[in-house]
């Protein structure tokens, strides 16, 4: 299928490049991965052209800003990364758009930077790498707590999606994976951490206060869609402190959109389609951590989708959600 839009596609600036090295290690291929992260041009366009991707929404790598404990430094790196991304997008505005990196260490600074990126730089939303650290290295701050309501008010006012992207839990706090470092990141830890964060948002009353909020999750929903029935069923027994006015399943299906990034499975896609509906799914790759050819060939050939669904998920939903204005 030609004309696809991909939207969990990453870049780095020199200040954040080592974050990706720490995740993937010095395995063979790091040099190519590094070059692809730093490139928002020829290398990326070559892959897009070869595999039918018309537009890519580009975002900063992980955890990047969210791992900077100093609030002012986090704000400075965010601004620097966003300005660099805007400069690169301006060279190919028909092929690239930008997601804002945000200094979530300070809700007011984050809101201000998001407004600047949307209103002045033309970005289509924000991508934030999970919880934030601030002040001390082993801190973990989630965005369901009351002090972030002013930030969410800005997101709602700007009417842009918020992409909640994974990051690994702080090692000092991650007792469950002790002795099994292979569990910490993409194998399991990313989905575990991101799904808990997303469910915290659902359970905080946030979507009742701001009914227009739209949150995006990658990797076919970070495993949440496959447990929605059980979540709602057990909430009838153990949900005494739940603050939402609607069941979690209803909130998730109405406010969350999920992408195929890094999860190219027919059976998983079928479950997501059944649980979420075709309107809430979108194509993505997770470039350069995943291979564009593997993502695109699987998506173009999967028998789970008919031609109409393939176009809607591959292009139309993202075009509408992010107001891209493509024909």
Predicted confidence (pLDDT) per residue in 203-226, tens digit: 999 999 999 999 999 999 999 999
Distance from C-alpha of 50 to C-alpha of 239, rounded to nearest angstrom? 49
Q: Where are the domains of the chain?
A: 4-321
Contacts of 286 (CB under 8 A, 6+ apart): 8, 9, 10, 218, 219, 261, 262, 295
How confident is the model at residue 109, as a pLDDT?
98
Residue 26 scores a pLDDT above 90: no
Tell me the C-alpha to C-alpha distance, in Å, between residue 51 and each of 3, 194, 258, 295. Answer: 9, 29, 21, 9
Q: Tell me the pLDDT tens digit for each residue of 295-307.
A: 999 999 999 999 9
Nearest residue to 113 (alpha-carbon basis) of 162, 79, 150: 79
Q: Which residues 6+ apart lie within 8 Å of 171 measured at CB?
A: 184
pLDDT at residue 317 tops 90: yes
pLDDT digit string, tens, across residues 232-253: 999 988 877 898 999 999 999 9
Predicted pLDDT of residue 226: 97
Question: What is the helix (H) or strand (E) element at residue 36, kind and residue range?
Answer: helix 30-38
- Listed residue (304, 285, 286) closest to 295, CA to CA: 285
DSSP element (H, E) containing 58: strand 53-60
Q: What pTM was estimated for this model as a whole?
A: 0.97
> In terms of C-beta density within 10 A (0-12 exposed, 13-18 middle, 19 or more buried), how is residue 156 classed?
middle
pLDDT for the residue numbered 236: 86
Of 3.40.50.300, 3.20.20.140, 3.10.20.30, 3.40.50.80, the CATH number of 4-321 is 3.20.20.140
CA distance 289 to 86: 22
Percentage of residues in the chain having pLDDT higher than 70: 99
Average pLDDT over residues 259-265: 98
Per-residue pLDDT, averaged over 190-210, amounts to: 97
Active site (catalytic) residues? 286
How far apart CA 207 and CA 201 sit, in angstroms, is 8
């Amino acid at each position: 299928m030609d004309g696809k839009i991909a939207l969990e596609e990453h870049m780095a600036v020199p200040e954040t490049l080592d974050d990706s090295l720490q995740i993937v290690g010095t395995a063979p291929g790091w040099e190519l991965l590094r070059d692809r992260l730093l490139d928002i041009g020829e290398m990326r366009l070559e892959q897009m052209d070869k595999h039918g991707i018309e537009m890519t929404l580009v975002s900063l790598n992980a955890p990047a800003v969210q791992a900077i404990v100093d609030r002012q430094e986090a704000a400075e790196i965010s601004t620097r990364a966003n300005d660099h991304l805007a400069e690169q997008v301006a060279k190919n505005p028909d092929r690239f758009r930008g997601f804002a990196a945000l200094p979530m260490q300070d809700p007011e600074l984050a809101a201000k930077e998001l407004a600047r990126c949307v209103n002045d730089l033309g970005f289509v939303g924000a991508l934030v790498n999970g919880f934030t650290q601030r002040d001390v290295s082993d801190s973990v701050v989630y965005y369901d707590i009351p002090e972030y309501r002013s930030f969410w008010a800005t997101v709602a006012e700007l009417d842009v999606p918020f992409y909640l992207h994974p990051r690994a839990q702080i090692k000092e706090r991650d007792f469950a994976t002790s002795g099994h470092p292979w569990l910490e990141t993409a194998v399991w830890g990313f989905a575990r951490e991101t799904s808990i964060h997303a469910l915290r948002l659902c359970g905080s009353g946030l979507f009742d206060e701001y009914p227009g909020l739209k949150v995006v999750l990658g990797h076919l929903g970070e495993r949440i869609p496959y447990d929605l029935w059980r979540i709602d069923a057990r909430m009838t027994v153990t949900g005494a402190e739940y603050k939402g006015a609607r069941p979690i399943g209803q909130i998730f299906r109405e406010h969350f959109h999920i992408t195929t990034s890094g999860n190219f499975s027919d059976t998983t896609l079928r479950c997501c389609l059944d649980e979420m509906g075709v309107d809430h799914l979108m194509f993505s790759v997770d470039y350069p951590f995943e291979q564009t050819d593997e993502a695109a060939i699987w998506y173009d050939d999967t028998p789970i989708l008919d031609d109409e669904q393939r176009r809607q998920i591959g292009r139309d939903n993202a075009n509408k959600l992010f107001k891209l204005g493509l024909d």
